[in-house]
Amino acid sequence: MSINLGAFFAKKKLKVLVVDMDPQGHVAPGLGIEVGYTDRSIADVLANQEDLATIIVPSNVEGLFVAPSNIKLSIVNETLYNTFKRERRLQKAMEKTYKDGVFDVIIVDCPPSLGPLVENTLMVADYCLIPCEPSSRSIDGLADFLHKISEVREGALDDKWFVVLSRVKRAAKLTNEVIEEKLAEYKSKILKTRIYEREAINQSQIAGLPVLDFPRGQQASEDFAKFGKEVATKCQIKLKS
């Protein structure tokens, strides 16, 4: 999701950075960037408290840049549990990036689990976008995540979080209706745009392209265009074109 949202903003003439805080490291390969175990990544930045700018690389989309991740981040994540001010490592690494105002939009992609990596992400966020699949497990995890937001930011993001339903199956009409009933208490925070499950999204990631540039990704591209415009409105991002 971060790849295609970032690509959408980049195609609107904004300079965009996607910071990958997930040890699985899907962002860089999804944009045609190979990152090996020994390559420098966000793991090095967090472990050594370095400037984020030292690892930023351009992608195959004009205006879109990546601070890549790799599996080493899982090791760093474990060491952070017993580290003083563990939740402020990313914030410190990004100070110069924020101060210089090099990027119009910074998207931080984090893993779907609670812990130091999510805490670090929340500390730098102006807005929080929560992908939620139409499943009971995702809904159960949503309440836990909202508690973590409140705990880490002490109310600073109370009105600045939104839920996007992703990997929605059009054919599963009954399931979708049940899930929306269960999400009724969050209705005002759920984005209108749905990200539907489409094979083109998977194929584009394998090809190292955002779906907006994938030859067979027209329908998915339309989904993400609507999604990007809605996110821009909710998060007060001014599109240039």
Give me the domains of the chain, ranges plus CATH numbers.
1-124 (3.40.50.300)
pLDDT digits (tens, 9 = 90+) for 101-140: 789 999 999 987 778 899 999 999 999 999 888 777 777 7
In this prediction, residue 176 carries a pLDDT of 66
In this prediction, residues 207-212 reach a mean pLDDT of 90
- Is pLDDT above 80 for 13? yes
Dihedral sign (CA 122, 128, 129, 132): positive
Q: How far apart are CA 67 and CA 73, in angstroms?
A: 13
Nearest Cα to Cα of residue 32 among 61, 12, 6, 55: 61
pLDDT band at 70 (very low <50, low <70, confident <90, very high): very high
In this prediction, residue 50 carries a pLDDT of 84
Q: List CB contacts of 23: < 8 A, sequence separation 6 or more.
A: 69, 70, 71, 72, 73, 74, 77, 111, 117
CB atoms < 10 A from the CB of 9, how many?
24
- Is pLDDT above 80 for 184? no
The first and second tokens of residue 148, run together, are: 């973590």
In this prediction, residues 149-170 reach a mean pLDDT of 83
Whole-number Cα distances in Å, 24 to 38, 109, 124: 15, 11, 21
Whole-structure pTM value: 0.91
pLDDT band at 146 (very low <50, low <70, confident <90, very high): confident
Q: Using H for helix, E for strand and C for coil, what is the string for the chain?
A: CHHHHHHHHHHCCCCEEEEECCCCCCHHHHCCCCCCCCCCCHHHHHHHCCCHHHCCEECCCCCEEEECCCCHHHHHHHHHCCCCCHHHHHHHHCHHHHHHCCCCEEEEECCCCCCHHHHHHHHHCCCEEEEECCCHHHHHHHHHHHHHHHHHHCCCCCCCEEEEEEEECCCCHHHHHHHHHHCHHHHHHECCCCEECCHHHHHHHHHCCCHHHCCCCHHHHHHHHHHHHHHHHHCCCCCCC
In this prediction, residue 52 carries a pLDDT of 92
- Is pLDDT above 70 for 45? yes
In this prediction, residue 129 carries a pLDDT of 92
In this prediction, residues 151-170 reach a mean pLDDT of 83
pLDDT band at 99 (very low <50, low <70, confident <90, very high): low
Please state which of the ranges 57-71, 123-137, 144-158, 168-182 shows the lowest mean pLDDT. Answer: 168-182
Please state which of the ranges 9-13, 85-89, 193-197 shows the lowest mean pLDDT. Answer: 85-89
Whole-number Cα distances in Å, 12 to 7, 62, 194, 216: 9, 10, 21, 21
Please state which of the ranges 57-61, 68-72, 82-86, 174-178 shows the lowest mean pLDDT. Answer: 174-178
Nearest Cα to Cα of residue 26 among 50, 2, 57, 58: 2
Q: How far apart are CA 205 and CA 187, in angstroms?
A: 31
Residues listed for the chain: 241
Strands 64-67 and 57-58, by their bridges, are antiparallel
| Greater model confidence, 195 or 101 | 195
